[in-house]
Chains A and B, each alone.
Chain A
Amino acid sequence: MKQVDAQLAAEFGLAAGEYEKALAIMGRVPTLTELGIFSVMWSEHCSYKSSRVWLRTLPTTAPWVIHGPGENAGVVDIGDGLAAIFKMESHNHPSFIEPYQGAATGVGGILRDVFTMGARPVANLNALRFGDPANPQTRRIVDGVVRGIGGYGNCVGVPTVGGEVNFHPSYDGNPLVNAMTVGVARQDRIFLSAAAGVGNPVVYVGSRTGRDGIHGATMASAEFGADAQAKRPTVQVGDPFIEKLLIEACLELMETDAIIAIQDMGAAGLTSSSVEMAGKGGVGIELDLDRVPQREAGMSAYEIMLSESQERMLMVLRPDRTEVARAIFDKWELDFAVIGQLTDSGRIVLRQGGRTEADIPLAPLAEEAPLYHRPTAPSPAPAPLGATPDPVGIEQALIALVGCADGASRAWVWNQYDSTVGGQTVRRPGVADAAIVRVEGTRRALALTTDCTPRYVAADARTGGAQAVAEAWRNITATGARPLAITDNLNFGNPERPEIMGQFADAIAGMAEACRALDFPVVSGNVSLYNETRGADGATVAILPTPAIGGLGLLEDAARAVGLALPPGCEVVLLGETRGHLGQSLWLREVLGREAGPPPPVELEAERRNGDFVRDEILSGRVIACHDVSDGGVLVALAEMVMAGRAGLHLDAPQSGISPHAFWFGEDQGRYLVAVADGGALLRRAEAASVPARLVGRAGPVGSAAGLTLPSGATISLARLAAAHERFFPLLMGS
């Protein structure tokens, strides 16, 4: 047995001050198991000790929000007595160490966060960031992550309908895997985690506990050194079939009145679920660890409590319903064990083999958890961009942008995810700005997206934070849906570095402004810090700050949704103001090889006005297709519409007063391309609504002659565009 002392506490990730606090709470030297519990509950991953002071500043309420942050996932009203329950969560560190299992268990974990609240999962999305495509490691990580997401999501029978993929060298040693699940529940059948009722049984269900994933939460709370691969034993292994059984068994039990409280065993496993359930309910909890279903003999109390074995849930049941519950779990062939009961002691007491292995007061464990107001350093303002002459011309730049790592078709990725299982997918990946999933048995549909432009956040975190929220709002709006709420997944570097904490604080401030202006509150989320890798030379590299936003919107009538594919015979109108902003644009990076200048400003009043106008136009039935303008600007967005619709388009001359490349490739925000039968009528309505509007294209040839005809008269054929667009992933992955 290891000697518990300050040195061991440090090895477990507790700072010196934190260990002293634990000593004071206990009034004695903690046991090994107790030290393990303190270290995981007070880890960054579980305690949010560096981020909490900032997270509190985010808006979290709206009339349609039923449960905001603090539960396993956020809950919003979607009408008909139904609720959408959703959350996004990171599995970054494990996905670098073991990409397949890291990503797979990320999907499994976020599914459990959603069905633990009573929702049937109806959609998965994932926001992925990988390193430089030229880095030989990138291919291995992309392959493992995509296979892992598909392997788990496909098997469990939940469609994977959307997400995003970016590449940047800053993710070389630290890929980001942010998985989002959306579920639907009856509003009168939502389950929470606060335990209640002294004497009530505490029940363990699902897979058995093994030695996998021990101290995963602590691993996820430190930067990687050169020994990252040696941390493989901390990665969990997923079993999607057990997860499927667990979903069905839990939802079946939720049809009865047996459950008082329920929580999945995620990070820090049995420790966090038991401590949080009892802590939230203000009760004590006593567990007999000998009764915990175990995969192997001889596990210590420490190992049982710290294991992150997957597909497990903890419940507090009505004592008179225990046998009803047991019968359901027997039917689904899942382990079911009463492992303890609630007490009035206010303490967590763990027994094994007749010994007391831990006895910790719960209130101080929660209330005296470390809370840091870490120093922040202001980020330097980006230098002005200066002159950006066009060295290659419009045509060549377009081909480069639709084919570059961040602009190329993602079909290679999404074709490996089952996006239609369940039969409710109205818009699959790639055909609309947000995925559209009908709510089974109703006319309603959910619009779902994930968004972030990390290079904007790196240049100006406040603007970048606002932009991520605005883009999610815009993508939902572009389908005709009303944006309701977001979940956020805040991926940053080491919070102990003031410049990183400065980025974090600024990004939150920008997000909060956008959430308020757009009535788009945060209802759930996750923070992933320490996304840094120490190189052999000792220097650390942090990821681009990446506050990924998962947005959810509602369509009252799924049939009203529009996609981005341009059909023949339309006119295309650009809505929103174009100034030709090239700072931090994809054009600047891919054509001039520069990542420089400020990101495009986000003007929230115009954002709201333009978006509300577009949504009204869509719901009026006058819009045939709609696509927001983002990476690569107007011309890339038009090319995407043309490629999806396979109909040609003749472009009008660009706006005077702006150089052509800045007009076509600038990334000014708050803009949409809208295809209508009568562009003139739309221009008049836009003017009346004070929304800047401009006709940019008219129907071109269809069939084999289809293409994008530039104002110069040159036509880029559809075949050439598609070949450039579809080359990147197969080339990278060697298939």
Chain B
Amino acid sequence: MAIALRLASGRAPVSVWHRDTSLPPLDLLVLPGGFSYGDYLRCGAIAAHSPVMGAVREFAAGGGHVLGVCNGFQILTEAGLLPGALLRNAGLRFLSQDCQLSVEQAESAFTRGWQEGARFAATLAHGDGNYVAEASVLDRLEGEGLVAFRYAGDNPNGSARGIAGILSPNRRVLGLMPHPENKVDPLTGGADGLPLFAGLAQSFAS
């Protein structure tokens, strides 16, 4: 993730320690993937209660942009910053493979690099990516255009309505299970994820 952010912005991101209680001035806060606290209780559950999360909530409430990928998405749902939950994959096994995503909402700082309906490849690497929410919540997400990405073709993990990523009502918080940051270099699997980072860089440059 740090590599992708540096590539898109030309600047190294700053890291925030989990025990911090305030954030430096930021354009974008990223909760990257990676088994926070071992994911021992439930994916993202302990991280959602870590000391820094108070500042993260304040940042989001103040209209800050927050990107949560994989474990980051799980943390955002556990923290209540995005609705729904991520359950065990329908096949009950960890999935490490490429998937195709379709862009369902191109009007956000995260998705402006694509046209609506565009398809792109991303990398899956998770055991708990099966997105669930009550039907009324799913209806609202779809009705308000807050579904950012869907799995195109196969639904690899059983997610409700094939949802791979969702936005907050102000479209400034995005959570998604696949890893766009692992597709920013033709040598390491392709550059299909670049529009997300390029779009963000463009948003904050202007």
Q: Spell out A's residues near B (CB within 8 Å).
A: 147, 150, 154-157, 239-242, 244, 414-421, 423-426, 428, 438, 558-559, 735
Question: In the assembled complex, which residues on chain B have CB atoms less than 8 Å from the CB atom of A239?
Answer: 38
Question: In the assembled complex, which residues on chain B have CB atoms less than 8 Å from the CB atom of A150?
Answer: 94
Question: In the assembled complex, which residues on chain B have CB atoms less than 8 Å from the CB atom of A415?
Answer: 93-97
Q: A157-B34, A240-B35, A420-B123 are in contact. List 17 more A-B contacts (CB 8 A).
A: A154-B127, A155-B39, A239-B38, A240-B38, A244-B35, A244-B38, A415-B96, A418-B94, A418-B125, A420-B179, A421-B125, A423-B184, A423-B185, A423-B188, A428-B189, A438-B187, A735-B91
Interface contact A416-B94, CB-CB below 8 Å: yes
Q: Bound complex: CA of A426 vs CA of B94, how far in Å?
A: 21
Question: In the assembled complex, which residues on chain A have CB atoms less than 8 Å from the CB atom of B97?
Answer: 415
* Shortest CB distance A550–B (Å): 21
Interface contact A735-B93, CB-CB below 8 Å: yes
Q: Bound complex: CA of A438 vs CA of B182, how far in Å?
A: 13
**Residues of B94-151 whose CB lies within 8 A of A:** 94-97, 123, 125, 127
B204 lies within 8 A of chain A by Cβ = no
Question: In the assembled complex, which residues on chain B have CB atoms less than 8 Å from the CB atom of A425?
Answer: 188-189
15 residue pairs bridging A and B, Cβ less than 8 Å apart: A154-B125, A155-B38, A241-B37, A414-B96, A415-B96, A418-B96, A418-B125, A420-B125, A421-B34, A423-B184, A423-B185, A423-B188, A424-B188, A425-B189, A426-B187
Interface contact B96-A423, CB-CB below 8 Å: no
Question: In the assembled complex, which residues on chain B have CB atoms less than 8 Å from the CB atom of A558?
Answer: 187
Interface contact B188-A241, CB-CB below 8 Å: no
Which partner residue on chain A sits nearest B91 by CB separation? A735
* Shortest CB distance B50–A (Å): 12
Question: In the assembled complex, which residues on chain B have CB atoms less than 8 Å from the CB atom of A416?
Answer: 93-96
**Residue in A242, A244, A415 whose Cβ sees the most chain B Cβ within 10 Å:** A415
* Shortest CB distance B190–A (Å): 11
Interface contact A420-B187, CB-CB below 8 Å: no
Question: In the assembled complex, which residues on chain A have CB atoms less than 8 Å from the CB atom of B37?
Answer: 241
Given known A157-B35, A414-B96, A415-B95, contact A423–B182 (CB-CB < 8 A): yes
Interface contact B96-A420, CB-CB below 8 Å: yes
* Shortest CB distance B55–A (Å): 19
Q: Bound complex: CA of A466 vs CA of B11, how far in Å?
A: 50
In the complex, per-residue mask of B20-40: 1 if CB is within 8 Å of any chain A CB, else 0: 000000000000011101111
Q: Bound complex: CA of A416 vs CA of B96, how far in Å?
A: 6
Question: In the assembled complex, which residues on chain B have CB atoms less than 8 Å from the CB atom of A559?
Answer: 187
Closest 8 CB pairs of A and B: A241-B38, A155-B35, A418-B125, A416-B94, A418-B96, A420-B182, A150-B94, A420-B123
Given known A426-B187, A438-B187, A735-B91, contact A419–B96 (CB-CB < 8 A): yes
Question: In the assembled complex, which residues on chain B have CB atoms less than 8 Å from the CB atom of A426?
Answer: 187-188
Question: In the assembled complex, which residues on chain B have CB atoms less than 8 Å from the CB atom of A240?
Answer: 35, 38
Instruction: From B3, B93, B127, give the contact of A423 (CB < 8 A).
Output: B3
Question: In the assembled complex, which residues on chain A have CB atoms less than 8 Å from the CB atom of B78?
Answer: none
Which partner residue on chain B sits nearest A424 by CB separation? B188
* Shortest CB distance A207–B (Å): 12
Which partner residue on chain B sits nearest A150 by CB separation? B94
Which partner residue on chain B sits nearest A425 by CB separation? B188
Question: In the assembled complex, which residues on chain A have CB atoms less than 8 Å from the CB atom of B91?
Answer: 735
**Residue in A239, A241, A244 whose Cβ sees the most chain B Cβ within 10 Å:** A241
In the complex, per-residue mask of B64-106: 1 if CB is within 8 Å of any chain A CB, else 0: 0000000000000000000000000001011111000000000
* Shortest CB distance A169–B (Å): 26
Question: In the assembled complex, which residues on chain A have CB atoms less than 8 Å from the CB atom of B34?
Answer: 157, 421
In the complex, per-residue mask of B145-160: 1 if CB is within 8 Å of any chain A CB, else 0: 0000000000000000
Inter-chain contact total with CB atoms closer than 8 Å: 69
Interface contact B188-A438, CB-CB below 8 Å: yes
**Residue in A156, A415, A423 whose Cβ sees the most chain B Cβ within 10 Å:** A423
Interface contact B189-A420, CB-CB below 8 Å: yes
* Shortest CB distance B15–A (Å): 12
Q: Bound complex: CA of A239 vs CA of B40, how far in Å?
A: 10
**Residue in B4, B33, B96, B182 whose Cβ sees the most chain A Cβ within 10 Å:** B96
Question: In the assembled complex, which residues on chain B have CB atoms less than 8 Å from the CB atom of A241?
Answer: 35, 37-38, 40
**Residues of B147-196 whose CB lies within 8 A of A:** 179, 181-182, 184-185, 187-189
Q: Bound complex: CA of A559 vs CA of B185, how far in Å?
A: 11
* Shortest CB distance B59–A (Å): 24
Q: Bound complex: CA of A559 vs CA of B186, how far in Å?
A: 10
**Residue in B95, B125, B181 whose Cβ sees the most chain A Cβ within 10 Å:** B125
Q: Bound complex: CA of A348 vs CA of B182, how far in Å?
A: 50
Question: In the assembled complex, which residues on chain B have CB atoms less than 8 Å from the CB atom of A244?
Answer: 35, 38
Q: Bound complex: CA of A419 vs CA of B94, how far in Å?
A: 12
Which partner residue on chain A sits nearest B39 by CB separation? A155
* Shortest CB distance A334–B (Å): 13
Which partner residue on chain A sits nearest B19 by CB separation? A331
Which partner residue on chain B sits nearest A559 by CB separation? B187
Question: In the assembled complex, which residues on chain A have CB atoms less than 8 Å from the CB atom of B3?
Answer: 423
Which partner residue on chain A sits nearest B2 by CB separation? A423
* Shortest CB distance A462–B (Å): 39
Which partner residue on chain A sits nearest B123 by CB separation? A420
Given known A418-B94, A418-B125, contact A423–B181 (CB-CB < 8 A): yes
Which partner residue on chain B sits nearest A418 by CB separation? B125
Q: Bound complex: CA of A154 vs CA of B34, how far in Å?
A: 8
Which partner residue on chain B sits nearest A160 by CB separation? B96
Q: Bound complex: CA of A240 vs CA of B182, how far in Å?
A: 22
* Shortest CB distance B191–A (Å): 12
Q: Bound complex: CA of A558 vs CA of B185, how far in Å?
A: 12
Which partner residue on chain A sits nearest B184 by CB separation? A423
Q: Bound complex: CA of A241 vs CA of B35, how far in Å?
A: 8
Question: In the assembled complex, which residues on chain A have CB atoms less than 8 Å from the CB atom of B127?
Answer: 154
Q: Bound complex: CA of A426 vs CA of B188, how far in Å?
A: 4
Interface contact B187-A154, CB-CB below 8 Å: no
* Shortest CB distance B33–A (Å): 8
Which partner residue on chain A sits nearest B34 by CB separation? A157
**Residue in B4, B37, B40, B93 whose Cβ sees the most chain A Cβ within 10 Å:** B93
Q: Bound complex: CA of A419 vs CA of B125, how far in Å?
A: 8
Interface contact B188-A417, CB-CB below 8 Å: no
Which partner residue on chain B sits nearest A157 by CB separation? B34
Question: In the assembled complex, which residues on chain A have CB atoms less than 8 Å from the CB atom of B40?
Answer: 241
Q: Bound complex: CA of A599 vs CA of B184, how far in Å?
A: 46
Question: In the assembled complex, which residues on chain A have CB atoms less than 8 Å from the CB atom of B123?
Answer: 420
Which partner residue on chain A sits nearest B182 by CB separation? A420
* Shortest CB distance B195–A (Å): 17
Q: Bound complex: CA of A239 vs CA of B37, how far in Å?
A: 11
Q: Bound complex: CA of A155 vs CA of B127, how far in Å?
A: 11
Question: In the assembled complex, which residues on chain A have CB atoms less than 8 Å from the CB atom of B182?
Answer: 420-421, 423
Q: Bound complex: CA of A252 vs CA of B113, how far in Å?
A: 38
Which partner residue on chain B sits nearest A428 by CB separation? B189
Q: Bound complex: CA of A559 vs CA of B187, how far in Å?
A: 7
Q: Bound complex: CA of A44 vs CA of B1, how far in Å?
A: 45
* Shortest CB distance A147–B (Å): 8
Which partner residue on chain B sits nearest A429 by CB separation? B96
Question: In the assembled complex, which residues on chain B have CB atoms less than 8 Å from the CB atom of A156?
Answer: 35
Which partner residue on chain A sits nearest B181 by CB separation? A423
**Residue in B33, B91, B97 whose Cβ sees the most chain A Cβ within 10 Å:** B97
Question: In the assembled complex, which residues on chain A have CB atoms less than 8 Å from the CB atom of B39?
Answer: 155
Instruction: From B33, B35, B96, B185, give the contact of A417 (CB < 8 A).
Output: B96
* Shortest CB distance A722–B (Å): 15
Which partner residue on chain B sits nearest A416 by CB separation? B94
* Shortest CB distance A447–B (Å): 14
Q: Bound complex: CA of A55 vs CA of B81, how far in Å?
A: 59
* Shortest CB distance B22–A (Å): 18
Which partner residue on chain A sits nearest B35 by CB separation? A155
Question: In the assembled complex, which residues on chain A have CB atoms less than 8 Å from the CB atom of B96?
Answer: 154, 414-420
Q: Bound complex: CA of A372 vs CA of B55, how far in Å?
A: 64
Q: Bound complex: CA of A426 vs CA of B189, how far in Å?
A: 7
Question: In the assembled complex, which residues on chain B have CB atoms less than 8 Å from the CB atom of A420?
Answer: 96, 123, 125, 179, 182, 188-189
Question: In the assembled complex, which residues on chain B have CB atoms less than 8 Å from the CB atom of A155?
Answer: 35, 38-39
Q: Bound complex: CA of A150 vs CA of B93, how far in Å?
A: 10
